[in-house]
Structure 1
Amino acid sequence: MISRLGPLAAAIIFATAPAFAADNYQTDIGPTPKNGRQGANVQGRGTVLATLDRTTFTIQGKFAGLSSPATAARLHMGNVMGGTGPAIGDLKVPQAKSGEISGTFTLTPAQVAGLKVGKLYIMLDSQSAPKGNLWGWFQPAHVTVPEGVPQMGSWYIPNLLDQGDGPAKKNNS
């Protein structure tokens, strides 16, 4: 009798266990020239979506408009949103002026915490900009409207957690 209850008990526990929803993130990757001489070489745009399921971070996106073929793309963690830092790992990217970016990573607890406060970013290199052609910092997924489209009411402000110098403040202007 007890041996028959094992599978039933497991099924009940599994069915009543809380389902954890994955967190969705996004970034628009864009040109970031490091100096005035790089302007013509640093071109293009892209959109990248990502999902965090516990510690598994899955990235999928597209880019286009580079002035030369892509050579590499990496996931990095900076010290703050907009700050630079070391690479966490490599992303798959074609050696082309346009294409798809993808990758899956197992993040450490520190990296998950960094993601939640906007420290994780993508850097895509190209032949003409080998130290970063397109860059973008991940933020929680949000509605994005086209340029020049006015918005009524609330508009997106990153809902970032405390970055070590007090609670994150909300802009109510």
Structure 2
Amino acid sequence: MEDVVAGVLRQWERAYPGLDTGPIAVLGRINRCAALLQQTPDPLTRAGLTRAEFDILGALRRLDRELTPTQLARESFASGAAVTKRLRLLEERGLVSRRTDDRDRRVAHLALTEDGRTLVDGLIQELVTHDRALLAGLTPAELDRLAEALSGLLNSLEGTIGSTLG
């Protein structure tokens, strides 16, 4: 069965014979997969969380210690401004607590509250099960190859784009 991007590639080939559509084949499929995944209700949606908010909660749970907003930005692959916005919402929900540094009042230390820990612990297995179901059409070998190929792409992009973003 042909995917939607294959049709787009044929259209580009008709419009521009000989055009190397390899980049469109890869990035078009990545973008289409991302769009479909964002439209799929998941356990986080039902819990009233976005993936980005869960990334912050997950970082606090995985590392199991207080983190500063800067550390959370690094751990959740988000900008400082995005983390600040998400933290405000998570604090309002009582999932994250903030403690001011004893030596430098400008520095905040963030931790999961008991409610935050309970939420993450209750969601993580459900989320993994949900994500596994989304990938059920691929064999274990295909999953391994895809993960390896995406890792290579990610490392390449982080080396080029990431270095320009600082």
Structure 2 length as normaliser, TM-score?
A: 0.24
Pick the structure with more helix per residue.
2
Structure 1 length as normaliser, TM-score?
A: 0.24
Higher RCO (CA 8 Å, separation ≥ 6 residues): 1
Pick the structure with more strand per residue.
1
